[in-house]
Structure 1
Amino acid sequence: MRPTEDTKRWVIPFFTIWTGQSISLIGSRIAQFALVWWLTETTGSATVLATASMVALIPEIVLAPFSGALTDRWKRRRVMIFADTLMALAALWLAYLFWSGSMQIWHVYVVMTVRAVGNSFHWPAMEASTGMMVPKSQLSRVQGINQTMRGVLNIVAPPLGALFLDLLPLHQVMMIDVGTAALAVTPLLFIAVPQPERAAHEANTSVWADMVSGLRYLVSWRGMMVFIGAIMLLKIALSPAFSLLPLLVRQHFQGGAAELSLLQAINGIGVVAGGLVLSLWGGFRRRVHTMLAGIALLGVSILALGFIPPHLYWLALVSIFVLGFMVPMVDGPFMAISQACVAPEMQGRVFGVMGSLLSITSPISLAMAGPISDRLGLQIWYLAAGGICVLIGLIGSRVPAIMQIEGESEISPAATAAAVNPERV
């Protein structure tokens, strides 16, 4: 089954599901803010917060290829229902623990792990479903809307979380997450999500074989591997640029919490603005041009943060706005290209592998950025990261494998042969 260009057949069902999922994200962010604040007040330990972050990250890295393979075997609608329900039950358990006064630190680690497991199933299922429900010509616009929503969440969720913490006890804050999850599940109970037909040769294969076939699909498709490799390098350069912002504000610009919050808010506004522009404009005719231009300009904005002198804080605000504006111009086309080019019946397992590869960049980049910044100075990382991004944007336009990715057939012949015939790899 293929997406149709007839908007009457896709807009209402897709955005009904999308709205429920977006409302659920708001509830999850509110609950996450409250939970992190509870950890901060209870322990005051950076180690505890770092451990909670790692516990939330590791399951997604490990499970994503497995969950992606299962997504291709199961009904994707059911996978999303399962994932949303699992995360809602975890929030319900938290609500009970806070209500009964039995909440402990290790409970947070368990819930973070459960939520990470749910997300490892939900992300490939939702992205693969989007590729089936939305016409290819509209994928960039939809991804622009997704990016706008993420920017809005970054701006709105923290103050909403703080507001609800003032108004409600913690167990009721957790129940907000449960209620919004119900709004995400409800449309999925009534709206059909297209499911690609499973290939005949895969009828009796194991989950492990499906995982391997997804990896073979990527490895044998040179253009897609180069494409993903460029994004991984971008993520390694970019992630610490956000994580190091508190130190940049405090040590370089001699600012405090107010200056940091303003910088983060301006970045969020930039993400919203970029997402709105992408959703209305749709990007250049060839999505790869939008992505590479976005990477280069994003690199320029990071370079600027490394060059701006301490007394020109306002220039940092301009730079961080441009950085935020360019993020949707990179992430949106990247996902749109992936959804358009990867065969529908392979998207779950391929997106699972992609999710694992992209997630592993965070611990790698943070492990590198800390020692480099401590030894050589904070500005060095911003200069190096910005330079890397600019080079990716410029060199990528000269790499045929990247430039021709949208011109390749939806099912790469080499990738299909490798997935079907393992001995050829």
Structure 2
Amino acid sequence: MPVVRDLRVLLQLRDFRHLLAVRLLSQSADGVYQVALATYVVFSPEKETSATAIASAMAVLLLPYSLLGPFAGVLLDRWRRRQVLLYGNLLRSGLAVGTAVLVLAQVPDALFYVSALSVTAVNRFVLAGLSAALPRVVDSPERLVMANSLSPTAGTLAATLGGMVAFIVRLSGPGGSSSDALVVLLGAALYLAAGLATLVMPLNLLGPDPAVLLPRLRTALLSTAHGLVAGVRHLLKRRDPTLALTSMTLMRFCYGALTVMVLMLCRYEWAGNEADGLALLGLAVGVSGAGFFAAALITPWAVGRLSAIGSHSRADGQLSWIMVCAAAAALLEPGLGLPFEPAPMLVAAFVLGLTTQGAKIATDTVVQSSIDDDFRGRIFSLYDVLFNVAFVGAAGVAAVMLPPDGVSSLLVVCVALLYAATATLVLFHVKQDQGRTRQRDVSRET
């Protein structure tokens, strides 16, 4: 109910409504396009899909975010952000149409990946532009906090909905490359709609202010690089956020490896035909999303309970929740995964969605509360890099370990051991922190 009330307040602001509409259209297109790429790479009947191909597709989808993300803001401070949103979405629409043509033409994979990489690279500027423009469409700091909380969440829901629509279109289409191209064209249409939606906003509404004096581009880019190095040094001096980011990176790695395995199982082991495999994959995505939603509901309560046990600090409560999530995954993942049957694996998808997102919420909070404000943006840029590179790295490792049908007991066991190692690492840190706190309390009393 508070979320609905806050959203109702924000929707009274005309400019916020317009910017939110652009975000929803743009990110729903992202969801459609990502599913289109995944189904083309994994489920095209004329292609013999391998784990290596899946890893390549994940690299195309995620690495542009990591490599361009920290530097996107430098350019967004120089270009009119409304024009970035307009031309960025129009460019992605055109590139997506080109991707559809390549799918129909059945060109070599390398050319297809170049086209897909171009679309996702532009995406980094659009998402950063949407975030940078938010302060220009709200009228108070309090509403900005609400907007920063609700807008990305609404965008994520739009991307999820777009992905589900893409699955439906793919399953109900004519089949083969024609269905893949149809889904890509749906994404292109949504990108076009997102671009045209920006035209209702005045040219200079979203900034930046042309009167602000900015350093030269080369100086700004070098300053960003030096700032990231300074941010890493700042992070390493603080134990709690360093541990939280390390743990989240390891858990993201585990989630990525299992994602590739499930894709291969849906393609070859569980389904007698393409449609059944796609339906199973869509169900797995939905169940994992339900786990993400459950984590948002459970995590605040769980952290509060863990903080209260033994009078732990709030930070120790957050870290303890990360430990519980990693330990739960370590215990449940082998039992649910080793049968290699759809029903228990779907339960595992829910559990891993809950534990991964629960740990991420706690990690976000630890970083936000433990890092100085001057460094917070840089640390979250680093966080974004670690989050995506871990997923792509996991896909690469899975590509080496997985057999053609996706059934690998070794991978399941190794992931469980990595989850257990993560839980042990956090437990050791929390116990050390509590010991230091007790020593300080004894010293004060004496």
Instruction: Give the alignment's TM-score, normalised by structure 1.
Output: 0.69
- Provide the C-alpha distance between the structure 2 equivalents of 1:316 and 1:126, rounded to a whole number of angstroms: 36
Corresponding residue of 1:217: 231
- Provide the C-alpha distance between the structure 2 equivalents of 1:37 and 1:394, rounded to a whole number of angstroms: 40
Give the number of the structure with larger relative contact order, counting CA–CA contacts within 8 Å between residues 6 or more apart: 1
Q: Secondary structure at the match of 1:216?
A: helix
The equivalent position to 2:193 in structure 1, one of 169, 177, 183, is 183
Cα distance, 1:95–1:318 mapped onto 2, change above 3 Å: closer
Corresponding residue of 1:162: 171
- Provide the C-alpha distance between the structure 2 equivalents of 1:68 and 1:348, rounded to a whole number of angstroms: 11
Shift of 1:234: 2.4
Shift of 1:394: 4.2
1:323 maps to 2:341: no
- Provide the C-alpha distance between the structure 1 equivalents of 2:371 and 2:208, rounded to a whole number of angstroms: 15
Is the CA contact 1:307–1:379 (under 8 Å) kept in the aligned structure 2? no
Per-residue Cα deviation, 1:231-272 (whole angstroms, up to 9, x for no partner): 222222331122223567899xx8546699547625523423
- Provide the C-alpha distance between the structure 1 equivalents of 2:86 and 2:373, rounded to a whole number of angstroms: 20
1:136 maps to 2:150: no
- Identity within the alignment, %: 16
Counterpart residue type for residue 325 of structure 1: L
- Provide the C-alpha distance between the structure 2 equivalents of 1:326 and 1:14, rounded to a whole number of angstroms: 33
- Provide the C-alpha distance between the structure 2 equivalents of 1:310 and 1:347, rounded to a whole number of angstroms: 43
Q: Secondary structure at the match of 1:44?
A: coil
Q: Secondary structure at the match of 1:88?
A: helix
Instruction: Map 1:335-374; keep pairs closer than 5 Å.
Output: 351-369=380-398
Per-residue Cα deviation, 1:191-213 (whole angstroms, up to 9, x for no partner): 7447699998x745332222322
Counterpart residue type for residue 215 of structure 1: V
Counterpart residue type for residue 26 of structure 2: S
1:119 maps to 2:123: yes
Higher Rg of the two aligned structures: 2
Per-residue Cα deviation, 1:133-165 (whole angstroms, up to 9, x for no partner): 664367556655555455545544323333345
My pick for the range that moved more, 262-271 or 117-126, is 262-271
Cα distance, 1:65–1:378 mapped onto 2, change above 3 Å: same
Is the CA contact 1:295–1:389 (under 8 Å) kept in the aligned structure 2? yes
The equivalent position to 2:321 in structure 1, one of 271, 282, 293, is 293
- Provide the C-alpha distance between the structure 2 equivalents of 1:96 and 1:112, rounded to a whole number of angstroms: 12
Per-residue Cα deviation, 1:363-422 (whole angstroms, up to 9, x for no partner): 43344455567898233123213314434664565687xxxxxxxxxxxxxxxxxxxxxx
Corresponding residue of 1:85: 90
Per-residue Cα deviation, 1:71-109 (whole angstroms, up to 9, x for no partner): 45555554444433332221133356678x696644312
Is the CA contact 1:196–1:345 (under 8 Å) kept in the aligned structure 2? no
Per-residue Cα deviation, 1:350-369 (whole angstroms, up to 9, x for no partner): 55443333222234334445
My pick for the range that moved more, 359-368 or 341-350, is 341-350
Per-residue Cα deviation, 1:168-214 (whole angstroms, up to 9, x for no partner): 776654432222113323444417447699998x7453322223223
The alignment covers a number of residue pairs equal to 393
Is the CA contact 1:294–1:329 (under 8 Å) kept in the aligned structure 2? yes
Is the CA contact 2:79–2:208 (under 8 Å) kept in the aligned structure 1? no
Counterpart residue type for residue 319 of structure 1: A
Per-residue Cα deviation, 1:13-37 (whole angstroms, up to 9, x for no partner): 5465344333333334434544555
Corresponding residue of 1:417: none
Q: Secondary structure at the match of 1:220?
A: helix
1:44 maps to 2:44: no
1:278 maps to 2:282: no
Shift of 1:166: 5.1
Is the CA contact 2:69–2:381 (under 8 Å) kept in the aligned structure 1? yes
Corresponding residue of 1:414: none
Cα distance, 1:338–1:297 mapped onto 2, change above 3 Å: closer
The equivalent position to 1:107 in structure 2, one of 111, 117, 125, is 111
Shift of 1:115: 1.6
Instruction: Give the alignment's TM-score, normalised by structure 2.
Output: 0.66
Corresponding residue of 2:412: 379
Cα distance, 1:179–1:340 mapped onto 2, change above 3 Å: farther
- Provide the C-alpha distance between the structure 1 equivalents of 2:125 and 2:109, rounded to a whole number of angstroms: 26
